[in-house]
Amino acid sequence: MANMRFFSPASVQEAVSLLNTVEDSQCLAGGQTLVAMMNSGLVSDGALVSLHAIAELRGIRKSGDGGYAIGAMTTHAEVARAEQLRGAHDVVKEAAGCIAHSPIRNRGTIGGSVCLADPSTDFPAALVVAGARFELTGPKNSRQVSAEDFFKDYLTSALDPGEILTRVLLPSRPASLKSSYLKYARAHGDYATVSVAVALEMVQGKCAQARIALGSCGPRPVRSLEAEHRLIGTALTDADLADAAEMLRSATDPVDDVRGSAEYRKMLVGPLLRRAVRQTLEK
Ligand SMILES: Cc1cc2nc3c(=O)[nH]c(=O)nc-3n(C[C@H](O)[C@H](O)[C@H](O)COP(=O)(O)OP(=O)(O)OC[C@H]3O[C@@H](n4cnc5c(N)ncnc54)[C@H](O)[C@@H]3O)c2cc1C
């Protein structure tokens, strides 16, 4: 820690320039993971480029297409409280609200969480189901990557060295599309053993659209188009959901760890999916 240099740029442009010119530099967002890594000696050299003084990275704004743009430095607590996300983006709001405990939600940021690409965290599955896109800004230009393509593997994402995640873009959604996020954890505030994000549109009692993603069930959020197609045109009976859960289960690749065995995680998929779907239909 004694060897770390600290920079506090006031703009994205300045931050990107520092990341690309200062050796071994990385962004500091909420510090909830990075500072813990520094405390345990896992990160001890190089430079921190703090994003705290960059006003344009904070807050939630309506975007031109009727969706929302969430600045990367917006905290989990701000996303959880965001009234404008209620309804169309419940899945994102609910995921933010069940992250850890309030001290971590007050400091941790959506950008920091996404850039970690840890499959046991809450945002990845929720943002895949929400159809989010991430704006990544590098020295030459900005580009957008869908949440689906961003999360590559365990702690591995499509973010290139020298790029900053600047905004999380949520698309416009019809009011008829309802969504939920459900997390099963050993104890309140723990990382998920399994989580499920669901978005559904019902038309005259039949499912017209279904999007489902599982968290903590593989190195990246798990989706199964086969399971989603199985639900289209159905009334989402227990039998329909049991079939879809089986398809989803076979797409998972969970690990054995302190939060549950791979077998236990697979077992949880069915009950959690059923509960998340029922919760969504009640909205
Ligand atoms: C005890 C504990 C419990 C937790 N429980 C949960 C939980 O239940 N669910 C959950 O989802 N999460 C959980 N977390 C993770 C936490 O929510 C934070 O989101 C996460 O640690 C990272 O966010 P941060 O803003 O603190 O990022 P930092 O720690 O500051 O940064 C993390 C990494 O991302 C990079 N980075 C940060 N922002 C950007 C950016 N905009 N562009 C490019 N790179 C960037 C940094 O360089 C660093 O490598 C927990 C953390 C702790 C310490």
Q: What is the pLDDT of residues 82-116, one digit of tens each?
A: 999 999 899 999 999 999 999 999 999 999 999 99
Section 135-161 average pLDDT: 97
Q: Are 194 and 184 in contact (CB under 8 A)?
A: yes
At residue 2 the predicted structure's pLDDT band, cuts being 50, 70 and 90, is: low
The CA distance from 53 to 244, in Å, is 46
Atom 17 in ligand 1: residue holding the nearest Cα:
108
How confident is the model at residue 119, as a pLDDT?
96
Atom 31 in ligand 1: residue holding the nearest Cα:
112
Atom 32 in ligand 1: residue holding the nearest Cα:
112
Q: State in Å: Cα 35 to ligand 1 middle.
A: 10
Q: State in Å: Cα 229 to ligand 1 middle.
A: 34
- Is the pLDDT at 163 greater than 60? The verdict is yes
How confident is the model at residue 10, as a pLDDT?
97
% the chain with pLDDT above 70: 99
Best residue among 18, 28, 34 to mutate for probing ligand 1's pocket (most ligand atoms within 8 Å of CB) is 34
Q: State in Å: Cα 36 to ligand 1 middle.
A: 10
Q: How many C-beta neighbours within 10 Å does residue 21 have? A: 10
The number of the ligand 1 atom at minimal distance from the alpha carbon of 136 is 42
Section 118-135 average pLDDT: 98
How confident is the model at residue 43, as a pLDDT?
84
